[in-house]
Amino acid sequence: MSSYYNRQFIIRAVIIVVGVIFISQLAYLQLFEDEYSNKGLSISHIEEIKTAPRGLVYDRKGTLLVNNTNSFALSVIPRIAKEKGLDTTLLATLLEIPREDLIERLDKASKESRYYFKYAKVFNNLTPVLHARMKEYLYKFPGFTLEKSEGRSYNYLSLAHTMGYVKEVNDKELAKDEYYRLGDYIGKAGIEKTYEKELRGEKGAAFFLQDNKQRIVGPLEEGARDIETIPGNNLTLCIDIDLQEYAMKLMNNKRGAVIAIKPSSGEVLVKLSSPTFNLDSLYGINGGKYYQSLNMDNENKPLFDRTILAQYPPGSIFKLINAGIGMQEGIITSSYRKSCHGGASIGNFFMNCHEHSSPVGVLSSIQNSCNPFYCHFFVDLLHNSKFRSVQDGYKHWRDYVISFGLGQKLGSDFPTQRTGNIPTIEYYNKKLKRKNWVALNIVSVSIGQGELMITPLQMANMVTTIANKGYFYTPHVVKSIGDKGKRDEYTEKHTTAIDADYFDIIHQGMENVVNSGTGTLARVPNIRVAGKTGTVQHTGKGEAHSVFVAFAPVENPQIALLVYVENGVWGGRYAAPIAGLLIEKYLTDSISPSKKWIEKRMMETSLITPKEKEVKNDSIQ
C-alpha cells in the first residue's frame, strides 16, 4: 500500500513539474520574447502605416509650386491573398501590366510584410480609371485593399530639372534606411533629393483589432497605440516663377540653359534647362514607360540638366576674366594696345577675328571681343620673366581663374554638379606629351576655347562675381526651410584675387558691348545694362553656340544672368536678346513696345529641326 502511494506521489510531482515548466515557458514567450510577442500581436491586429504629408514648395513671392494630391495605393496582406487563392492573370489584366511585373511586386510585398497581418503596398498612385476598376473588382481579391495615399503635383513645367522628382524606393534604398517600406516615395533628383529628409516628415500608424476571420472589429486599445504623423517642412525657393516661366517661353524649341542670380545674396532667380519635360507623367503605373521615352531621346536629352551637368566652352565671355587678370598683373595698362585687322599674328600663329577698329585697348577689346588682344596678353603673362618657367606662369594664371569659382563644385544645394575643366599643368603635360610646352601651344584658352569647359551655373556665378566687383555668395535655390527664415550657410563672401577697382573698367567695357558693340539687342530702355557676347566653336554638329552674360542696373546690380543657346550661331543673335528681355521683365515687370518684335521672334524661332521638334514635343506631352 505504501509503495502504491509513493508511486502516485511521484506521478503527481512529475505532472506538476512539467506543468510548471510549460507555464513558465509560455510566460517567457509572452512576456520576454519579442518575436513571439510581435507575431501573436500581429495575428490579433492590423497595423496601417500612415505616410506623412510631404512638404509643399513655394517660390520667393509665395506662389505654390509643388503640392500634394489625394491618391490611392493598392496594398495586400500576402498571406491572406495566398491562402484564398490569387488570380494573378486577372489582376495583371485589370492593372494593365505584364503578369511578370505583378508577380515581382507581390514577391517584394511578401518580404516587406514580415508579420502575417501587415499591409504592404503593391502599386502607388493608381490613375482614376484604375482606381475605379479595382474598387469594382476588389471583392475578387481577398487580402487586398485600396489605401488613401498622397501623390505629388508639379504646377510648372519650367521647374522640372530644378525640382527633380520622387519615385518609389528601390531595394538598395530600402536596405539603407529603415524609414522606408515598399511603395514609399523618395526624392530621386533636384530639390526633392537634396531636401528629402526635410520634406518627408515622420510617419504615423493606426492599429485595428480583427477577429479570427480577419475582419476588423475596431481600433486597438481605443487608439491608444496610434502614432500621429508629422508633416514635412515646406520650402521657399529663391526662384521667381514668373521670370522662370518667361525664360521657358523664350527658350521654346531651343536647347540650352538660363541661370539668373541675385548678386547681393547668391539667390538663384531662374534655373532653366531646355527642353524640359512633364514631371507629373513620371507617376503611376506607366511612369516607367514615360521615363524610358525621355531617356531614349538622345538628340534633345530632356532629362539632362544642362544648368549644372553640361560642360561647355565659355567662348568670349571668358575674356572678361583675362581682362581683370591682365590689369591686376600690370600687363594690361592704358598704353597696352594691339593691332587687329580681321586677325593678327602672335609669333608664328595667326589668330582670326572679325573686322573692327584697330588698334585696341582693354575697353575696345571687350566691346569688340578682339581675339588677338587676349592671345597677346596670355603669351606676355606666361612668358613674363618674373616666372621661372611658362608652367609657373600658367599656374599663376590658373589660380586667378579658380578664384572665380571655376573648375570646382560651387557647394550649391544641387545634388549633382560637374566641376568643368580648368586644365592643370599635369593635364597639358600628358596631352602635349612634353613638359616644356609654351603659351602658344594652349593659347586658345585665352579666348575661352580649347580645353576650357565650364558649366552654365559657373558662368552665371562668374558674371555675378564681376557685377559685385570681385566677390560672390554661393548660388543656391532654397531660400528657407519651414519657419527658420534666411539660411546662414550661404552668407559667406568668397573673394577673387583681383582688386575691386579694376572691375570698373570691365563694367564700362561691358556696357559698351550693349550700347554700341556686339550685344545691342540686349538694350533695355532707361536701364544701364552691362553684357558680353560669346560665339562658341565646338566639336559637335551644327552651328556655333550663342552665349551672353549680363547684369543690370550697372550702378546697383539686381540681377546677373547667363543665357546659353546651343547652335545659336553667334552671341548677339539669340542669347543677347533673350537676356535683355529677361532683365527688363525682372526689373520692370513688363516689356516695352519697342521690344515686342524681339520677344515675338525669340518665342517663335525654332533651332530644332522638324523631326527633332516632333520628338521634343512628344517628350513634353
Give pLDDT, residue 618: 32
In this structure, the answer to whether residues 190 and 104 fall within a common structural domain is yes
Cα–Cα distances in Å, from 487 out to 16, 318, 477, 490, 567? 71, 31, 11, 6, 38
For residue 64, what pLDDT band results from cuts at 50, 70 and 90? very high
Over the chain, what is the mean pLDDT? 87
Structural domain contains residue 90: yes
In this structure, the answer to whether residues 221 and 253 fall within a common structural domain is no
In this structure, the answer to whether residues 158 and 211 fall within a common structural domain is yes
**End-of-domain residue from the set 203, 237, 271:** 237
Burial readout 486-516 (b: 16 or more C-beta within 10 A, e: otherwise): eeeebeeebebebeeebbebbbebbbbbbbe
Structural domain contains residue 14: no
Spatial contact of 409 and 419, defined as CB atoms under 8 Å apart: yes
In this structure, the answer to whether residues 193 and 255 fall within a common structural domain is no
Q: Which residues contact 321 (CB under 8 A, 6 or more apart)?
A: 400, 401, 404, 462
| Distance in angstroms (rounded) separating the CA atoms of residues 483 and 192 | 18
Pairing of strands 57-58, 64-76: antiparallel
Helix then strand then coil, % of the chain, to nearest 5? 45, 20, 35
**End-of-domain residue from the set 237, 254, 289:** 237
Q: What is the mean pLDDT of residues 13-41?
A: 59
pLDDT at 615 > cutoff 50:
no
Q: What is the mean pLDDT of residues 75-86?
A: 81
Segment among 57-66, 204-213, 318-327, 492-501 with least mean pLDDT? 204-213
Look up the domain containing 84 and give its range: 46-237
In this structure, the answer to whether residues 397 and 489 fall within a common structural domain is yes
Structural domain contains residue 34: no
Q: Residue 46 is inside which H or E element, if any?
A: strand 45-50
Give pLDDT, residue 454: 97
pLDDT at 396 > cutoff 50:
yes
In this structure, the answer to whether residues 143 and 282 fall within a common structural domain is no
Give pLDDT, residue 426: 97
In this structure, the answer to whether residues 135 and 272 fall within a common structural domain is no
Question: Between 85 and 578, whose confidence is greater?
Answer: 578
Give pLDDT, residue 152: 84
In this structure, the answer to whether residues 161 and 54 fall within a common structural domain is yes
Number of domains in the chain: 2
| Distance in angstroms (rounded) separating the CA atoms of residues 36 and 444 | 73
In this structure, the answer to whether residues 614 and 492 fall within a common structural domain is yes
Spatial contact of 54 and 199, defined as CB atoms under 8 Å apart: yes
Structural domain contains residue 13: no
CA 41 to chain centroid, in Å, comes to 44
Give pLDDT, residue 321: 97
Q: Report the CATH number that the domain containing residue 180 is assigned in CATH.
A: 3.90.1310.10
The string of pLDDT tens digits covering residues 540-578 is 888 889 999 999 999 999 999 999 999 998 888 999 999
In this structure, the answer to whether residues 323 and 228 fall within a common structural domain is no
Structural domain contains residue 1: no
Q: What is the 3-state secondary structure (H, E, C) of 541-604?
A: CCCCEEEEEEEECCCCCCEEEEEEECCCCCCCCCHHHHHHHHHHHHHHCCCCHHHHHHHHHHHH
Spatial contact of 114 and 174, defined as CB atoms under 8 Å apart: no
**End-of-domain residue from the set 185, 205, 237:** 237
| Distance in angstroms (rounded) separating the CA atoms of residues 263 and 117 | 57
In this structure, the answer to whether residues 176 and 318 fall within a common structural domain is no
> DSSP label at 275?
S
Give pLDDT, residue 217: 64
Structural domain contains residue 9: no
Spatial contact of 544 and 603, defined as CB atoms under 8 Å apart: no
Q: What is the mean pLDDT of residues 317-341?
A: 95
pTM over 0.85: no
| Distance in angstroms (rounded) separating the CA atoms of residues 468 and 147 | 54
Give pLDDT, residue 617: 36
Q: Report the CATH number that the domain containing residue 452 is assigned in CATH.
A: 3.40.710.10
Give pLDDT, residue 104: 84
Structural domain contains residue 7: no
The string of pLDDT tens digits covering residues 104-126 is 888 887 776 655 566 777 887 77
Amino acid at 168: E
The string of pLDDT tens digits covering residues 122-157 is 887 777 788 888 889 888 888 888 877 777 889 999
Structural domain contains residue 556: yes
Q: What is the mean pLDDT of residues 364-387?
A: 94
Q: SS3 for 350?
A: strand
pLDDT at 612 > cutoff 50:
no
In this structure, the answer to whether residues 134 and 230 fall within a common structural domain is yes
| Distance in angstroms (rounded) separating the CA atoms of residues 501 and 545 | 32
| Distance in angstroms (rounded) separating the CA atoms of residues 413 and 407 | 17
